[in-house]
Chain A
Amino acid sequence: RKEVEQDPGPFNVPEGATVAFNCTYSNSASQSFFWYRQDCRKEPKLLMSVYSSGNEDGRFTAQLNRASQYISLLIRDSKLSDSATYLCVVTPPSGTYKYIFGTGTRLKVLA
């Protein structure tokens, strides 16, 4: 079983739609959680950190469910510019600072 699993998609949605991605992780003692965005042939860029209480940044909402070991990302009112791959990131239990990435979920927002 992979340490971090994501549905690779692609998710094709119309402009203005709401879309949600989930990501599951295998190590219950994982420390920190993030969503990164990666455009084609570019570097990953931090979208948002994910906290147990849930957090929102404009049209983006991230949630963490430690009991079920998944994190989610909700995008409201999708824009064409949201088209990208969304990478779920988990850090192992304390003592190491490396990132463990999912394969990424591809989103294409259609006009």
Chain B
Amino acid sequence: DTGVSQNPRHKITKRGQNVTFRCDPISEHNRLYWYRQTLGQGPEFLTYFQNEAQLEKSRLLSDRFSAERPKGSFSTLEIQRTEQGDSAMYLCASSSNNQPQHFGDGTRLSIL
């Protein structure tokens, strides 16, 4: 069973650097979502794609954040000029139409 795959699992970087995360959804899923989770909180929605179209972005997604899903398959989330407050677990999920979302095991970002 090939689930949602995220890379890297962990990323440690210095403040001000750019980082990029990758998500490979379950192959037949047309919807892909990004969430961010900090300690003691539930995941917070960032953005979602239906095929290659980015249909919704949260106000949490500042100008430093950009997400793409160029061919409607994998997606990347880039954070430019990272800040301390960006430290979090970044979760990707995918779903098929109105089915429940399946989550990847996340990328844990630590900003030094």
Q: Are A99 and B45 in contact (CB under 8 A)?
A: yes
| Interface assignment of A54: CB less than 8 Å from any CB of chain B | no
Q: Are A99 and B43 in contact (CB under 8 A)?
A: yes
**Interface positions of A from 30 to 79, Cβ below 8 Å from B:** 32, 34, 41-46, 49
Distance of A100 Cα from B101 Cα, bound (Å): 12
Distance of A58 Cα from B106 Cα, bound (Å): 29
CB distance from B36 to the nearest CB of A (A): 11
Partner among A44, A97, A104 whose Cβ is within 8 Å of the Cβ of B95: A97
Partner among B31, B42, B98, B108 whose Cβ is within 8 Å of the Cβ of A101: B42
Q: Are A98 and B42 in contact (CB under 8 A)?
A: no
Q: Are B104 and A43 in contact (CB under 8 A)?
A: yes
Q: Are B44 and A101 in contact (CB under 8 A)?
A: yes
| Interface assignment of A96: CB less than 8 Å from any CB of chain B | yes
Distance of A42 Cα from B106 Cα, bound (Å): 8
| Interface assignment of A22: CB less than 8 Å from any CB of chain B | no
Q: Are A43 and B105 in contact (CB under 8 A)?
A: yes
| Interface assignment of B85: CB less than 8 Å from any CB of chain A | no
**Interface positions of B from 8 to 61, Cβ below 8 Å from A:** 31, 33, 35, 40-45, 48, 56, 58
Q: Mark A1-13, 1 if CB is under 8 A from B, else 0.
A: 0001000100000
Q: Please report B residues at the A interface, Cβ cutoff 8 Å.
A: 31, 33, 35, 40-45, 48, 56, 58, 91, 93, 95, 98, 100-106, 108
Can you list 22 A-B pairs with a CB-CB distance of less than 8 A? A8-B40, A34-B100, A41-B108, A43-B103, A43-B104, A43-B106, A46-B100, A49-B100, A96-B56, A97-B31, A97-B98, A98-B33, A98-B56, A99-B33, A99-B35, A99-B43, A99-B101, A101-B35, A101-B42, A101-B44, A103-B40, A104-B42
Q: Please report A residues at the B interface, Cβ cutoff 8 Å.
A: 4, 8, 32, 34, 41-46, 49, 87, 96-104
